[in-house]
Every structure is written in structure tokens, then in C-alpha cells.
Structure 1
Amino acid sequence: MAKQLDYHTIREIFTRFQAVDPEPKGELDHVNAYTLVVAVALSAQATDVGVNKATKELFKIADTPEKMLALGEEGVTEHIKTIGLYRNKAKNVIKLSRILVDDYGGDVPNSRAALESLPGVGRKTANVVLNMWWQYPAQAVDTHIFRVGNRTGICPGKDVVAVERAIEDHIPVDFQQHAHHWLILHGRYTCVARKPKCGVCVIRDLCQFEDKTE
């Protein structure tokens, strides 16, 4: 684990990220808050590309909890069976849809506690929805952010909660809204797990990773 970088270095890092990609976006396809919740819940232990392929047709016929309930568990299963853990995920999609209809009038709540109470929705999923749909500067820490945060010294921590707290505590407030997207994309395409592409990294000179590649 690298040591925590100082404020000025972190500001420079995110200034560079912003220059390359001023408005980073999540890569899960969705058409409203409900389909975003479902897509993020389905993305656990699956790739965004795989989820998007599975939901392309699903969301055409079921883009509200009411329509998803009408489709039923078996119908959902048929659409998402290319995704890992699809049977359990189909059950959760139906359960969370029922709760949204019964308890929230079919709307997606915008509080972390309410989101986390939905089946298949954990803290990470709740934070993604809060950030992407409600524009709340919540930080959804996944394996990419955990790796980048600890490798670079931007937001080191022993677990995802510690890394989330480090982001909130050390990344300047004007970069908070897009921070987790910049970090995810950096980890997904440049600071990859096995052979990081340090030769083309825009923050190579600021990063504390000792085993930089050429």
C-alpha cells in the first residue's frame, strides 16, 4: 500500500484526468433510475459489456418495476442467463421490483439507506445510483478503484470503506462528483491489474507505484 499523497499532488492528478475526459460517464446502459439500479445490481461479478448485452432487450420490454413484475422471474432469467449468478440475480430483480412498487409507488428512492434495503443492492450499488442518477458525490469503490487508490497513493486503504473515506477526505471537493468514474476508467484501461500501462499513463510521474512498467 502506498502512502497517502498530499493535497497538491492529488489536485494535479485530477486536473489531468479532467483534461483528458471532462465528463466521464459510467458504462452501464440504462434509460431511467430503475434500469440503472437493475443494471448495477446485475453487474456484480460481471462485466459492464456483458450486462449491457443482456439488458439490451430486457429493458426494451421492462423498463419499470411494474413491467418487470409482469415479465416474471422466468422471463428475467431468460434475458440474463449469460451473466454470472443469473438465477439469484433474477430473484433479486423481482424482489426489489416488488418492494419498489409496494413501498415506493414504483419510484427509486434517493437515500442510501433505502437503496441498500433493496435485495441485491449493497453500498457500492447504492453509491453508483446516487452518483450517476441523483448527482450526489457518492464514491462507489470497486476492485479497480481499490487497486488504483492503493497503488498510486491517491486514496489508500485496507478495505473498500477505508478507500471510500480516503476519497471523501483527500480528493478536492470540485473533483468529487466524477472522482469514482475517473478512477474506475483509469483502473479499467490504464492501471490494469497484471501489466499496468505505465508508459502511456498521464499521472506516471506523480504515482507512487514502485514497479512501473515501460
Structure 2
Amino acid sequence: MSRSWYSRSRRRYAPPRPRGLWRKLLDYGLTVIVLGLLILLAARLDRVETRKTQGTAIVNDGDSITLGTERIRMRGIDAPEYTQTCRKNGADYPCGTLARRSLVRLIAGRPVSCAGWQRDRYGRLLGDCTAGGKDLNSAQVEAGWAVAFGGFESEEAAARAAKAGIWAGTFDQPQDWRDSHHGEAVERKHGTLASIGDAAREIFRFW
């Protein structure tokens, strides 16, 4: 009996067999994969870090502004392009210009604060913006001068029911209008056109 116990003890505490070559390669491969995933995760977290900026806004159009050197596209909304026209009572009217004026009125010369973590294909920050405690993204849709574009569906429904802004007549969705008017060139240039026009009006106002 003691000999049997001694035999079992020897088997129990015997050193483990050395790992085979393929097992070692598998372990090394898994280690490399885990390290690679950690590096990618760290890079991703760095990219999605929320950026906040504030200051006096230059309003480019109904859904984009500039704060200092930061160009911002307001997240979740899409306003008519600055040169876009809509139709009401059988006549065309400059709904893009009016959408921009709506945003100017909402800001009312107050400092604007925007925060976001994504950028669009033109490098603009996709931001949620406020002025004087007012959510500008939401207010622009509620006023009827922007459509919901991934957010603010309830505000759009209210604007539709009230026939506010562009909902008082007919219009092409801003995305469709861009597609039919060489969207990339329009998207890049309309803000510049608005800024030049504003600068010219400011100059003539003082003459």
C-alpha cells in the first residue's frame, strides 16, 4: 500500500512535458495579435477624443460655422446649400440664404461653443453647438431651416406640422441638390461664397 501511494505521488508531481514547437508558435502568435489589438485600441481612443472649441462664430451657411481656425459642420442636421433655391407659392426663393440667416439670428452675436469627436471627409469637426444655452443644431431643425440628418427627428416632425421654413413649400433634400450640382465643389465653396458676401456687405455698410 505504501508503495502504491509513493508511485501515485511521483506521477502527481512529475514536471510538465516541454511544449512542442507548434504550441510555442501559437502562443507567440496570440501574443502578437493581442499586442496589435491593444495598439489599435489606443490609436482609436486617441482619434475619438472629444474636441471642444468656442468663440465668435463666422456663419458659413445654415449648418456650418467657423470658430477661429476650426471649421465645424453641425452634427445631425442638413441645411439647404448657400446657393440652393426652394419653391413656395409658385416661385423660387433663396432658401439657402434664409437658412444661413436663421442660424445668424439664433446665435445673435453671442459666443458659440461646439464639441465633437468625428470629422467629415473635408476635415470639418462634426459638432454639437450652443449659444447662450441654446442648442443650435436642434433649434435650426425646429425652425424649419434644416432637415434631420441622423438626429432631431422629433424637431423635424414639429417643423413639418407647423409648415415652418422650407416646409412651407417644396424643396430638394440638400443631399440630393448637392448630388445634382456637383456636390463636392458646392460643399467646399459655399462657405467661402457666404463669407465673401458677408464681408462685402460689412464694407458697404460703413460707406
Q: TM-score range by the shorter chain?
A: under 0.3
How high is the TM-score relative to the length of structure 1? 0.27
Structure number with bigger Rg = 2
Q: Which one scores higher on RCO, CA 8 angstroms, separation ≥ 6?
A: 1
How high is the TM-score relative to the length of structure 2? 0.27
Which structure: greater helix fraction?
Answer: 1
Which structure: greater strand fraction?
Answer: 2
